[in-house]
């Protein structure tokens, strides 16, 4: 809580609020303002100005609040986008004014001002226009109707339990508040792997879906549903799911009309098709454009979107063939279809070509699709990065991906300009991510995993924010302004991705985890399995040859100097070397170390640094709330122990495989 002169400053402006509009979203903003100020300043916000005549005022430009009309002229209004806002401290009118073109913009502006106060920022002299960079800022839930959460590490679903909707609308309302506060405007509430009963979400369970949509609507969030491509067959009304069959098309058109009758602002469908045994258009000799466009035509009259996932590969291929490469799959499937998708179809592309590994290159589809709407997909849930038992702050990874230059239009073609729609002038674009929330009291299981959820929203709103700035915001809002506390937690967060990578995945290999649940080391867990081959380690060397001349040719899917750099064993970055090249263990890296020595060193150092995370956190005992301290301490103890297990299993495996000892003569079992 602010104190002294800082508190006096906030009290001067924030004791009164002027709001005239009855719109539900603006009334939600008013509630958030009152709750936030009461929590941070300990005062009840009234409607009458304080003795100095000062207040906070907010509303839409077209509303009836005279303060908004007086503070913001036409020039400012023109700069504010559909979800943006203007905020200004106006001495002339005696108010801090928040004006927007839409009620959602007003809500985002209120959360912005609360964030400034919570971060102890100066609120005098405010004068800025703030617009979100990305149009779609989406969360994908992988919640199942039975209450389980696929790749969920924070308890069970708060939407469903025992094949019923929980009806926990207060929890869902708090979740909507949480998401809106960081700028999320779209949420898909069920798993992309749609099961039989979940197919009924677009028919039998529409009243329950509509109830959740009503909660979301108040916070500027549109509800989406994942749908089963074979829905017409599962409900027993049509004997096929062929997207070109007239009966199938009509079935989806009828379902869309029913959904929009119940949820007028319904966002649309999220679809996973023809991957990992999910049904899709391939069954009928059709392509992904045929399938997506059929659904798009059903939604188009209502303004709905089809989010079509590009996570498509044949999991039944013969992975022993070294020319078979899962990394190629998305590009090979979707590049030939560029320009064939309807305007309300958006391709959702994972940040890398594989599956959310701790390190992999950026998907080459970014830059390859010039005439297709696209969003990037991240995974906030730490499926392969410690499962919210290990701290792994992912914002630096996401920043690296968004800043990656594709060279699609020369020297200034970063991924962030593709996904925000500016590079190709896309009609729809943005960012989506797999949620890391559940019904755990702290939402994310590991308290520090909240930084990923917060950071994702802030980065989706503005990709120019730094990982350091986002961490500082979250720490200040969660733990308060004590610089000693914030310094320790900031260092833990900012070091954590590198630490996790160092004791798990050497030089871009990945996948050395236990099959199915994906937690803990298992070096050969996925080698030559039905899902793929990932390191090809033998007694001579390690790595996957993805070069043009001798390998799978995957490197050629990139543009210009990226293709050349990845194809060259001399030029390839060390951190991705084994993703692109099979090399001897004695191959010398740019760092000057051999591959095998790098593996030994990073795993020893990673385990040591994981233990140092616990020691750093221990220095905060007594400085933060005891229950919060204990939550994190327990997780960091597990991480420190688990890092040793990773170290020992990985180092032992490669020592026995290569027959080359550690130059440091450390113990390898």
**Active site amino acids:** 276, 355, 383
Question: Smallest Cα–Cα separation from 194: which of 155, 238, 156, 224?
Answer: 224
Length of the chain, in residues: 669
Residue 41 three-state SS: helix
In sequence order, what are the residues at sequence separation of 6 or more whose Cβ sits closer than 8 angstroms to the Cβ of residue 595?
A: 506, 507, 541, 542, 577, 578, 583, 584, 585, 586, 587, 589
* CA–centroid distance for 260 within its chain: 27
CA distance 665 to 669: 12
Q: Report the DSSP beta bridge partners of residue 532.
A: 529
CA distance 639 to 611: 8
CA distance 151 to 557: 30
Helices (H) and strands (E) in the chain, counts: 20, 17
Q: Report the DSSP beta bridge partners of residue 143.
A: 149
CA distance 503 to 648: 10
CA distance 614 to 610: 7
- Pairing relationship of beta strands 136-140 and 429-434 according to DSSP bridges: parallel
Phi-psi region of 431 (alpha: psi -120 to 50; beta: other; left: phi over 0): beta
Q: Do the Cβ atoms of 298 and 232 come closer than 8 Å?
A: no
């Amino acid at each position: 809580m602010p104190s002294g002169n800082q508190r006096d400053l906030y009290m001067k402006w924030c004791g009164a609020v002027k709001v005239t509009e009855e719109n539900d979203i603006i009334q939600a903003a008013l509630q958030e303002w009152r709750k936030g100020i009461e929590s941070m300043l300990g005062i009840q916000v009234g409607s009458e100005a304080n003795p100095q005549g000062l207040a906070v005022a907010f509303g839409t430009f077209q509303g009836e609040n005279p303060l908004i009309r007086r503070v913001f002229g036409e020039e400012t209004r023109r700069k504010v986008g559909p979800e943006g806002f203007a905020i200004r401290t106006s001495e002339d009118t005696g108010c801090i004014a928040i004006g927007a073109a839409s009620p959602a913009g007003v809500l985002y502006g209120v959360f912005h001002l609360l964030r400034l106060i919570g971060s102890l920022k100066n609120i005098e002299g405010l004068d800025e226009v703030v617009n979100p960079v990305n149009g779609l800022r989406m969360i994908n839930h992988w919640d199942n109707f039975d209450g389980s959460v696929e790749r969920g590490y924070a308890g069970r679903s708060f939407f469903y339990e025992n094949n019923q909707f929980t009806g926990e609308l207060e929890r869902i309302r708090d979740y909507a508040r949480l998401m809106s506060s960081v700028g999320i405007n779209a949420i898909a509430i069920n798993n992309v792997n749609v099961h039989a009963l979940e197919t009924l979400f677009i028919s039998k369970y529409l009243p329950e879906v509509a109830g959740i949509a009503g909660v979301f609507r108040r916070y500027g969030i549109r509800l989406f549903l994942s749908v089963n491509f074979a829905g017409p067959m599962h409900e027993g009304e049509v004997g096929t799911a062929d997207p070109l069959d007239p009966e199938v098309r009509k079935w989806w058109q009828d379902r869309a009309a029913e959904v929009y009758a119940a949820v007028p602002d319904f966002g649309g469908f999220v679809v996973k098709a023809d991957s990992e045994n999910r049904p899709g258009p391939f069954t009928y000799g059709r392509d992904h454009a045929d399938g997506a466009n059929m659904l798009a035509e059903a939604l188009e009259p209502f303004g709905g979107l089809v989010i079509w996932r590009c996570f498509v590969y044949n999991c039944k291929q013969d992975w022993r063939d070294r020319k078979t490469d899962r990394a190629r799959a998305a590009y090979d499937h979707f590049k030939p279809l560029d320009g064939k998708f309807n305007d309300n179809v958006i391709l959702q592309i994972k940040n890398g070509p594989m599956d959310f590994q701790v390190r992999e290159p950026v998907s080459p589809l970014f830059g390859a699709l010039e005439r297709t709407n696209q969003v990037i997909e991240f995974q906030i849930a730490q499926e392969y990065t410690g499962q919210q038992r290990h701290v792994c702050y992912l914002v630096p990874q996401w920043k690296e991906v968004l800043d990656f230059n594709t060279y699609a239009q020369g020297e200034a073609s970063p991924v962030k300009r593709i996904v925000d729609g500016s590079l190709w002038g896309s009609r729809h674009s943005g960012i989506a991510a797999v949620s890391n929330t559940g019904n755990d009291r702290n939402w994310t299981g590991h308290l520090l995993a909240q930084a990923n959820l917060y950071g994702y929203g802030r980065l989706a709103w503005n990709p120019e924010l730094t990982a350091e700035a986002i961490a500082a915001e979250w720490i200040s809002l969660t733990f308060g302004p004590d610089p000693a506390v914030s310094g320790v937690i900031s260092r833990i967060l900012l070091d954590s991705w590198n630490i996790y990578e160092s004791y798990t995945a050497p030089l871009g290999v990945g996948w050395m985890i236990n099959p199915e649940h994906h937690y803990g080391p298992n070096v050969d867990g996925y080698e030559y399995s039905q899902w793929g081959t990932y390191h090809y380690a033998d007694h001579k060397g390690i790595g996957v040859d993805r070069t043009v001349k001798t390998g799978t040719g995957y490197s050629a899917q990139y543009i210009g100097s990226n293709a050349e750099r990845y194809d060259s064993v001399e030029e390839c970055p060390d951190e991705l070397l084994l993703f692109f090249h099979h090399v001897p263990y004695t191959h010398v890296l740019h760092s000057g170390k051999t591959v095998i020595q790098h593996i030994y060193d990073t795993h020893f150092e990673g385990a040591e640094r994981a233990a140092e995370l616990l020691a750093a956190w221990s220095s905060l005992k007594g400085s933060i709330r005891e229950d919060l301290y204990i939550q994190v301490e327990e997780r960091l103890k597990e991480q420190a122990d688990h890092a040793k297990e990773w170290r020992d299993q990985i180092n032992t495996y490669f020592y026995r495989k290569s027959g080359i000892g550690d130059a440091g003569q450390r113990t390898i079992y």
